[in-house]
Amino acid sequence: MGENLNLFTSTQYVINDALAKLGYTEEMYELLKEPVRMLTVRIPVRMDDGTIQVFTGYRAQHNDAVGPTKGGVRFHPEVDEEEVKALSMWMSLKCGIVDLPYGGGKGGIICDPRTMSFAELEKLSRGYVRAISQIVGPTKDIPAPDVYTNSQIMAWMMDEYSRLRENDSPGFITGKPIVLGGSQGREKATAQGVTICIEEAAKKRNINIKGARVVIQGFGNAGSFLAKFMHDAGAKVVAISDAHGALYDQDGLDIDYLLDRRDSFGTVTTLFENTISNKELLELECDILVPAAISNQITSENAHNIKAAIVVEAANGPTTFEATKILSERGILLVPDVLASAGGVTVSYFEWVQNNQGYYWSEEEVNEKLHAKLVSAFNNVYETSENRRVNMRLAAYMVGARKMAEASRFRGWV
Ligand code: GLU
């Protein structure tokens, strides 16, 4: 298996491995090796300068044996079909790991929201919903935020869907503003989930969070809230980064100041002169390393130089297939993306439950339920990894694939 395996192929490879370890036949792999449904749409938008731009978007639904599919929509110039497919498969695994009644879905639009106006983004969001409306819905497929999408975009999408159906449909999408049926705690949920995984992993490695040196790559939704939680828990956040570079202080950074100065896309390092590169950041001396930015960051080139005792993947796909093997062989505890980043979809599920019942919970209630789900998911994966003598990624895939494989079997699909 080469280093250049793309995300989609390496995901297939690990799913195959996980199903074989669980004792399923090739036929199960045939069903689960790619999404059951993939829609490509073209969305014309009249831009502010009067010209028409046609955007390409996707919605992938991996497997709906367990229940409706669920997963975010990303707006990014590098979105492509294979990535959306892989991301929908990871959503299936995440939902299995935290035991939600969903299969995985994912959407994306090729665009750069950093260069678009509010009005253009609204037209694009509404156009996307009109284009995919036949295959989505509260009991079919439930979108949510992802890279460069937020609660405002969810609000426009929910409004468009409700108008199309002539029904108020808050359960169509999650990650909404609180006044439109969003859940308390949803915005911070991914970082909360990562924090819970860090706490559990630290226990396994006898590391005290108080005083632990933490390095975080990325200062977006997950990275910034996580820096705050770690800082407030008494850890020393020695480095953070954004797409332009990284900041490092061995005595710990002033996180509150950085949070105050970051822009809405998470950029903050451009305000400083003394920066290091993202590459250097990954190899810093620390106890806990959290890649919370983009994919393919820890590779066979730098995996030998990682100094952390624990690596917790808050981003999707930050560690390559080869690098996963190297880190495991070096005894580094790797908490894989499909587990560590499952906090977001867990609170999305709580949001959907609250929408369906029309009764809303307090933030404490949401956090308590999130904590219980993530602690049990972490320990389930950790024990599978110990008992079956497999690395944490394979263990997570085994736990994540089991439920959808069982559901597919009971439905008579395989
Ligand atoms: N986009 C997030 C993820 O990748 C959240 C998905 C959701 O809330 O449905 O897990």
pLDDT tens track for 125-150: 999 999 999 999 999 999 999 999 99
| Ligand 1 atom at shortest distance from the alpha carbon of 345 | 8
CA dist., res. 224 & res. 227, Å (int): 5
Phi–psi pair at 266, nearest 5 degrees = 90, 15
For the chain, the domains span: 34-170, 189-331
Tokens for 386, please give them: 């110990």
Which residue shows structure tokens 């959808």? 404
- The upper half-sphere exposure of residue 202, i.e. CA atoms within 13 Å in the direction of its Cβ, equals 21
Number of Cβ atoms within 10 Å of the Cβ of 355: 25
Q: Which is nearest to 195 in space by CA: 209, 183, 206?
A: 209
Cα 146 to ligand 1 centre (Å): 6
Task: Tell me the chain's radius of gyration from C-alpha atoms.
Answer: 20
Token reading at 318: 């930050």
Q: To test ligand 1's pocket by mutation, which of 7, 79, 345, 350 has the most ligand atoms within 8 angstroms of CB? A: 345
Instruction: Please report the pLDDT score of residue 294 as a whole number.
Output: 87
Catalogue the active-site residues.
Answer: 106
CA of 91 to the centre of ligand 1 (A): 7
Give 239-257 pLDDT, tens digit per residue: 999 999 999 999 999 999 9
Write down the residue that tokens 């998911």 correspond to.
Answer: 377
> Which of 3.40.50.12500, 3.40.50.300, 2.30.42.10, 3.40.50.10860 would CATH assign to domain 34-170?
3.40.50.10860
The model carries a pTM of 0.95
The pLDDT value given to residue 5? 66
Cα of 231 vs centre of ligand 1, distance in Å, is 25
Nearest CA to ligand 1 atom 9: 71
Domains 34-170 and 189-331 share a fold: yes
Q: How many angstroms is it from 86 CA to the middle of ligand 1?
A: 13
What atom in ligand 1 is closest to the CA of residue 342? 10
Q: What is the DSSP letter of 176?
A: -
Q: Which residue among 7, 73, 91 has the greatest number of ligand 1 atoms within 8 angstroms of its CB, and so is best to mutate?
A: 91
**189-331: CATH number:** 3.40.50.720
Q: How far is CA 143 from CA 23, 105, 138, 316, 318, in A?
A: 32, 8, 9, 17, 23
**What gap in Å lies between CA 37 and CA 333, rounded to an integer?**
35
What are the tens digits of pLDDT across the range 186-243?
999 999 999 999 999 999 999 999 999 999 999 998 999 999 999 999 999 999 999 9
Closest ligand 1 atom number to CA of residue 145: 1
| Cβ-based neighbour number of residue 94 at 10 Å | 29
